[in-house]
Structure 1
Amino acid sequence: MKKGILKSLTGMALTGILAISLAGCGTTEKEAKAKTGLAGLQDKGKIVVGMMAATPPYEFHSVEGGKDEIVGSDIKLLDEVSKDLGVKYEIKDMDFDGLLVALQAGKIDMIVSAISPTEEREKNADFTNVYYKDRHVMIVRKSELDKFKSNDSLKKARIAAIKSSVQEKIVEKEFPNAELKLLGKSTELAMDLAANKVDAVLVDRPTATLLVKSNPSLAKTELLFDDDTAGAAIAMPNGTDKEVMDKINKTIERTKPEYEKWLTDAMGKVKQN
Structure 2
Amino acid sequence: MYIKRLAAAAAIVLAAVGGAQAKDWSKVRIGTEGAYPPFNSLTADGKLVGFDIDIANALCEEMKVECEFVTQDWDGMIPALQAGKFDAVIASMSITEERKQKVDFTNKYYNTPPAIAVPKDSKLKGTTDADLKGVMLGAQSSTTHSNYAEEKLPSADLKLYPTPDEYKLDIANGRIDAVIDDVVVLSDWLKTDDGACCKILGTLVPDPVINGEGAGIAIRKEDGDLKEMFNKAIAAIRANGKYQEINDKYFDFDVYGG
Amino acid at match of 1:220: I
> 2-side partners of 1:267 and 1:53: how far apart?
19
User: Are the structure 2 counterparts of residues 159 and 87 from structure 1 closer, same or farther at C-alpha, using a change threshold of 3 Å?
Assistant: same
Amino acid at match of 2:99: R
> 2-side partners of 1:137 and 1:102: how far apart?
29
| Counterpart position of 2:197 | 217
**Given that residues 117 and 127 in structure 1 are in contact (C-alpha distance below 8 angstroms), is that contact kept between their aligned partners in structure 2?**
yes
| Counterpart position of 1:207 | 185
The normalised TM-score by structure 2 is 0.83
Q: Establish whether residue 122 from structure 1 lines up as the match of residue 100 from structure 2.
A: yes
> 1-side partners of 2:12 and 2:190: how far apart?
65
Uncovered stretches (5+) of structure 2, i.e. residues with no partner: 1-8, 253-258
User: Are the structure 2 counterparts of residues 223 and 84 from structure 1 closer, same or farther at C-alpha, using a change threshold of 3 Å?
Assistant: closer
Match of 1:226 among 201, 206, 209: 206
| Counterpart position of 1:240 | 223
Query: Deviations for 1:125-166, whole angstroms, at most 9, x for unmatched residues?
Result: 01000110111110011111x324342221221111111111
Uncovered stretches (5+) of structure 1, i.e. residues with no partner: 1-19, 269-273
* Identical aligned residues as a percent: 27
| Counterpart position of 2:147 | 169
User: Are the structure 2 counterparts of residues 182 and 84 from structure 1 closer, same or farther at C-alpha, using a change threshold of 3 Å?
Assistant: same
**Given that residues 48 and 109 in structure 1 are in contact (C-alpha distance below 8 angstroms), is that contact kept between their aligned partners in structure 2?**
yes
Q: Establish whether residue 29 from structure 1 lines up as the match of residue 18 from structure 2.
A: yes
Find runs of 4+ consecutive structure 1 residues off by over 6 angstroms: 20-24
Flag the structure with higher helix content. Answer: 1
Q: Establish whether residue 51 from structure 1 lines up as the match of residue 32 from structure 2.
A: yes
Amino acid at match of 1:62: T
**Given that residues 112 and 235 in structure 1 are in contact (C-alpha distance below 8 angstroms), is that contact kept between their aligned partners in structure 2?**
yes
**Given that residues 148 and 154 in structure 1 are in contact (C-alpha distance below 8 angstroms), is that contact kept between their aligned partners in structure 2?**
no
Q: Establish whether residue 262 from structure 1 lines up as the match of residue 236 from structure 2.
A: no
Match of 2:50 among 72, 95, 116: 72
Q: For residue 203 of structure 1, report the CA deviation from its aligned partner.
A: 1.1
User: Are the structure 2 counterparts of residues 205 and 259 from structure 1 closer, same or farther at C-alpha, using a change threshold of 3 Å?
Assistant: farther
**Given that residues 56 and 267 in structure 1 are in contact (C-alpha distance below 8 angstroms), is that contact kept between their aligned partners in structure 2?**
no
The normalised TM-score by structure 1 is 0.79
- Aligned ranges 1:148-159 → 2 under 5 Å: 148-151=125-128, 152-159=130-137
The alignment of Structure 1 onto Structure 2 pairs a total of residues equal to 237
**Given that residues 155 and 178 in structure 1 are in contact (C-alpha distance below 8 angstroms), is that contact kept between their aligned partners in structure 2?**
yes
Query: Helix, strand or coil: the match of 2:46?
Result: strand
- Aligned ranges 1:76-91 → 2 under 5 Å: 76-91=54-69
Q: How large is the RMSD of aligned CA atoms in angstroms?
A: 2.4
Query: Deviations for 1:7-45, whole angstroms, at most 9, x for unmatched residues?
Result: xxxxxxxxxxxxx9998665323202x22xxxx222xxx
Query: Deviations for 1:85-117, whole angstroms, at most 9, x for unmatched residues?
Result: 332122221221110010111111110001011
Amino acid at match of 1:208: L
Which range is displaced more, 111-120 or 254-263?
254-263
**Given that residues 57 and 267 in structure 1 are in contact (C-alpha distance below 8 angstroms), is that contact kept between their aligned partners in structure 2?**
no
Q: Establish whether residue 92 from structure 1 lines up as the match of residue 70 from structure 2.
A: yes
Question: Which structure would you say has the larger Rg?
Answer: 1
**Given that residues 55 and 186 in structure 1 are in contact (C-alpha distance below 8 angstroms), is that contact kept between their aligned partners in structure 2?**
yes
Q: For residue 179 of structure 1, report the CA deviation from its aligned partner.
A: 1.6
> 2-side partners of 1:252 and 1:22: how far apart?
36
Match of 1:147 among 115, 124, 140: 124
